[in-house]
Structure 1
Amino acid sequence: MAADPSLLVDGAFWRRPLADRMQVFAEWRAEGPFVPAHVEVPFFGQSVDFTAVIGHPEVAEISRRPQEFCSGRGSTAIVDLPVDALEYFSSIIVMDDPRHARQRGIVARKFTPRHLQTLLDSVERVCTEVLDGVCEQGEVDLVETVSEPFPLLIICDMLGIPRSEFATVLRCTNVILGAGDLEATGSEDVFTALLSAGMELTGLLNELVEHRRQHPADDLTSALVHTDVGEDWLRPEELAPFFILLTTAGNDTTRNAISHGVDLLARHPDQKAAWQADLGGVTASAVEEILRLASPVVYMRRTATRDTTLAGVDFREGDKVAMFYGAANRDPRVFADPEAMDVRRAPNPHLAFGGPGPHFCLGAHLARRELAVMFRQLLTRLPDLEPAGEPQLLESQSIPLVGGVKHLPVRFTPAPKVGAA
């Protein structure tokens, strides 16, 4: 079929079942890796031409050529961020080197082996805590009770955000990545809701920073505001955007990988059985396969910095390209039988954490750990857990940055709590 790029910017398209959307991308990809498209975003007042990149080699190539396809001209969203929003959302993902390398280096330096081990150890504890909260009930909304709180509790603990502020962080992050869904924003004025969420998170995090300056603790916030003499540090205006990025990206991607993963296993019971039969041997590859098929981050944008050619197609300076990771992760040029779920798939060079290059996800290791721990516990503690209905997806107004699952009812045989791991 001829590609109809208007589907890309139609919110209804992103509410279709995952398999249906991927079938459309497969038909387009058979015609080529690039789809010229156009988007209008009324609440940002912008009308933009862009090229959708849906092939794996092409997405990987753009990612490894940041000098020609940059992140720092406007936004990683297809439309540029309005000036009012830059104060809250101008984090490292919308920067190029050397600014990007400097900030990323500061953060990476704070993840010492001891801090990393403490963080990774906490994943098991928080997972047990979350599942203890639902295991006796027999039927719950997986998103509200498991997928949503699990990664966000870990992020809050990592930053030192008190549990009393969990609901605030959850509400604000849902607005930021809610793609205009009224259930998330609570208002049709999406831009105002977005700014309000950014301001509220910034206020919360500034209070935390000031408290940690006076009362340091064993958390990332303390590590970032207390530096050795002569050591580079994040300036005050750099801290809030970084924290907003961490609380949103570190939460939403893992949340949706869990939700999509449970649904995928239900649709492929043979793969679930294979995983349960060999947890030690299959977990690592099964997590990668869930990431490949779910691809929680829908897309990221880059902007051509000069006239250049990619895969035989010419791009002009200023052209916008949007890399669609889910489509790239089902490219038959790279993956055999790409629509099938294979929990033992190897190799599996998926791009769910971004392509090779400076913007590969800083939290990939943590996300993999979270998914491995959560699915090991789900498959052993609640082995017959299954969806009790279809996933309810975000009511996005256009292309969502993250393919969000709002609700997923599940049922299982009630099981006892196990207490602290």
Structure 2
Amino acid sequence: MTVPAQRHPSDTDLADPAFWQLPPEARIAAFARLRALDGPRRFVERPASWRRPERAHWALVRHADVQEASRLPKVFASAPGVTTPEPARWVRALFGDSMVNLDGPDHAQLRKIVQRAFTPRLLAAAEADVHAVAARIVDDVLAERPAEFVSAVSSRLPLDVICNMMGIPEEYRSEIADRVNHASENIGVERGLTARLRMPGRGLRALARMQRMVAGIAEERRRAPGDDLISALVTANVDGQALGVRQLGAFFSLLMVAGVETTRNAITHGLALLTDHPDQRALLLGDFEKYADGAVDEMVRHSTPIIQFRRTVVAEHTLGGHLFTPGDKVVLYYASANRDEAVFPDPDAFDITRSPNPHLGFGGGGPHFCLGAHLARVEMKALFRELLSRPVGLRAVGLPELAGSNFDNRVRSLRFAFDT
């Protein structure tokens, strides 16, 4: 059955780039209106023309619907891609398929190899390293008193931790940080014609350079393995398979862009939230060990670092009162699901005592649940312990500068200061 595209006011049209330039409060209110409707709504991303077919998606905005779709990969497939728009075929052929864009046996085998490489010894060393890196960063901040939080603090922690875990030599790290920024700075952001023509190539060049770099390191580790993750991945033997060069490159790109960007954004939003809610900050300061886990989960829920992921329907299924048919495109809006009134009382409040807190900030479950969820929680907890335990009264100044993206809740910059 063909369903005609439904038109919406500009402030609730999720396919209109102007929607993602609205203030956060306006977008939150628009999602609340969509959740109150009788079922999913369809949004036209590109009208049909004589040269190109229409491109549209169904928006899943309720917690229950997003969670159910996440746990039914045989109906709601990640392939050919979870981003909007989907990656071009030539990009996938050149760079390899990222784990997030795979389904079924291909995804299961790749995830199995990666999980096998995360040995208890490697994970224990990574957790110990997180605390050392967090302390060093805060020591540097107190000594140098920088004014911008993202570059000085929140982007440094996940980058250093992942590079240490992967075994990336120090001399490569500044270049990798630059490549990560180039590769991800415009994901989901509406740009003018000149930037649209230029920036995709710039981002792909950044990914290509990162992959060439890690391929060179991988060859060295095959000859002389160490105790790092790259060594474990290239020497793994799971059912006779290890990661090939393209698979390793795709995994490294995913780990750097997803692992660094999402954690840095959650940390940055976290500082802004604690500044805007002094009562919650005081509660956390009063008994950090009691409230830290809840604070981290509430920061992730409230900020939702990844706004949405795309799925392609491959089997007929009824969800949220709507019959989906093969070929339909569906977008899981985690940012809306994490404010669903049916699950979270007073959803717009920032409450570190919220319990239960079944947020979908790391995905809705199923085979694509975030591999790095535990590490991200450890990083955030370690950094905020260091930031809040020092007697300097560190706080955000002004509002975060957001990227205006429909993909991730990215913070470009956040000014901060010290009370003493």
The TM-score normalised by the length of structure 1 is: 0.90
1:167-194 CA-to-partner distances (Å, cap 9, x unmatched) read: 22122222222225699xx955122112
1:199 and 1:279, CA in 2 relative to 1: closer, same or farther beyond 3 A?
Answer: same
Are 1:342 and 2:343 an aligned pair? no
Match of 1:255 in 2: 264
Q: What is the aligned partner in structure 2 of residue 417 from structure 1? A: none
Q: Secondary structure at the match of 1:336?
A: coil
CA contact (8 A) 2:40 2:320 kept: no
Counting only pairs closer than 5 Å after superposition, residues 95-106 of structure 1 correspond to structure 2 as 95-106=102-113
- After TM superposition, the structure 1 = structure 2 runs for residues 204-243 of structure 1, keeping only pairs within 5 Å, are 204-227=213-236, 231-243=240-252
Map residues 61-140 of structure 1 onto 2, 5 A cutoff.
Answer: 61-72=68-79, 74-86=80-92, 87-88=94-95, 90-140=97-147
Tell me if 1:299 matches 2:305: no
- One-letter amino acid of the counterpart of residue 342, structure 1: D
Matched, 1:179 2:182: no
Contact 1:91 1:242 in 2 (8 A): yes
Whether the aligned pair in 2 keeps the contact of 1:5 and 1:36 (CA below 8 Å) is no
The whole-number CA distance in structure 2 between the counterparts of 1:302 and 1:5 is: 24
Rounded Cα–Cα distance in structure 2 between residues aligned with 1:199 and 1:278:
46
Given candidates 384, 392, 402, the residue that maps to 1:375 is 384
Report the secondary structure of 2:330's partner residue: strand
- In structure 1, what residue type is equivalent to 2:78? S
Match of 2:280 in 1: 271
Specify whether residues 342 and 37 from structure 1 end up closer, same or farther in structure 2 by C-alpha distance, changes over 3 A only.
same
User: What's the CA shift for 1:47?
Assistant: 5.7
Aligned CA distance change for structure 1 residues 139 and 25 (closer, same or farther; 3 Å): same
Task: Say which SS state the counterpart of residue 186 (structure 2) adopts.
Answer: coil
Residue among 186, 191, 209 paired with 2:200: 191
Question: Aligned equivalents of 1:229 and 1:297: distance in 2?
Answer: 31
**Contact kept in structure 1, 2:96 and 2:247, CA below 8 Å:** no
The answer as to 2:56 corresponding to 1:49 is yes
User: What is the SS of the residue equivalent to 1:157?
Assistant: helix
Q: How big is the shift at 1:325? A: 0.6
Match of 2:45 in 1: 39
Q: 1:98 to 1:55 in 2, by over 3 A?
A: same
Say whether the 8 Å CA contact 1:6–1:37 is kept in structure 2.
no
Residues 21 and 303 (structure 1), Cα distance of their counterparts in 2 relative to 1, 3 Å cut: same
- Taking the TM superposition and a 5 Å limit, the aligned residue runs for 1:4-43 are 4=10, 7-32=13-38, 34-40=40-46
Give the letter for the 1:238 counterpart: Q
> Counterpart of 2:305 in structure 1: which amino acid?
P
CA contact (8 A) 1:89 1:245 kept: no
Q: Is the Cα contact below 8 Å between 1:54 and 1:325 reproduced in 2?
A: yes
Query: How many matched pairs?
Result: 405
Instruction: Identify the residue that residue 156 of structure 1 maps to in structure 2.
Output: 163
Question: Residue in 1 aligned with 2:373?
Answer: 364
Higher mean C-alpha displacement, 305-314 vs 132-141? 132-141
Tell me: CA distance 1:381–1:330, structure 2 relative to 1, closer, same or farther (3 Å). Answer: same
Q: Deviations over 1:249-299 (max 9, x none)?
A: 110110000011111112211111111111010001111111110110011
User: 2:266·2:304 contact (CA, 8 Å) conserved in 1?
Assistant: yes
AA of the residue aligned to 1:77: T
Distance 2:234 2:352 in 1: 42
- Cα distance in 2 for partners of 1:7, 1:175 equals 28
CA–CA separation in structure 1 for the residues paired with 2:120 and 2:365: 24
Can you give the 5+ residue segments of structure 1 that lack an aligned partner in the other structure? 415-421
8 Å contact kept, 1:3–1:28: no
Cα distance in structure 2, aligned partners of 1:182 and 1:330: 25
Counterpart residue type for residue 309 of structure 1: T
User: How far apart in 2 are the matches of 1:105 and 1:59?
Assistant: 25
Shift of 1:164: 1.7
> Which AA in structure 2 matches 1:274?
L
Aligned to 1:419: none
CA distance in structure 1 between the partners assigned to 2:236 and 2:343 by the alignment: 45
Aligned residue number for residue 150 of structure 2: 143
8 A contact 2:158–2:264 mirrored in 1: yes
Q: Can you list the C-alpha shifts for 1:298-352, whole angstroms capped at 9, x where unaligned? A: 1111110022211210112110111111110010101111111110110000000
When normalised by structure 2's length, the TM-score is 0.90
After superposing the two structures, state which structure 1 stretch, 335-344 or 374-383, moved more: 374-383
Distance (Å, rounded) in 2 between the aligned partners of 1:79 and 1:179: 13
Paired residues of 1:52 and 1:323 also in contact (CA < 8 A): yes
Is this contact kept in 1: 2:150–2:412, CA < 8 A? yes
C-alpha distance in 1 between matches for 2:273 and 2:289:
20
**Pair 1:384-2:389 in alignment:** no
Aligned counterparts of 1:204 and 1:151: Cα–Cα separation in 2: 19
Q: Is the 8 A contact 2:130 2:379 kept in 1?
A: yes
Structure 2 residue identity aligned to 1:98:
P
State the Cα distance separating 1:247 from its structure 2 match: 0.8
Within 2, Cα distance between the matches of 1:131 and 1:57?
A: 40
Identify the range of structure 1 (153-162 vs 20-29) with the bigger mean alpha-carbon deviation.
20-29
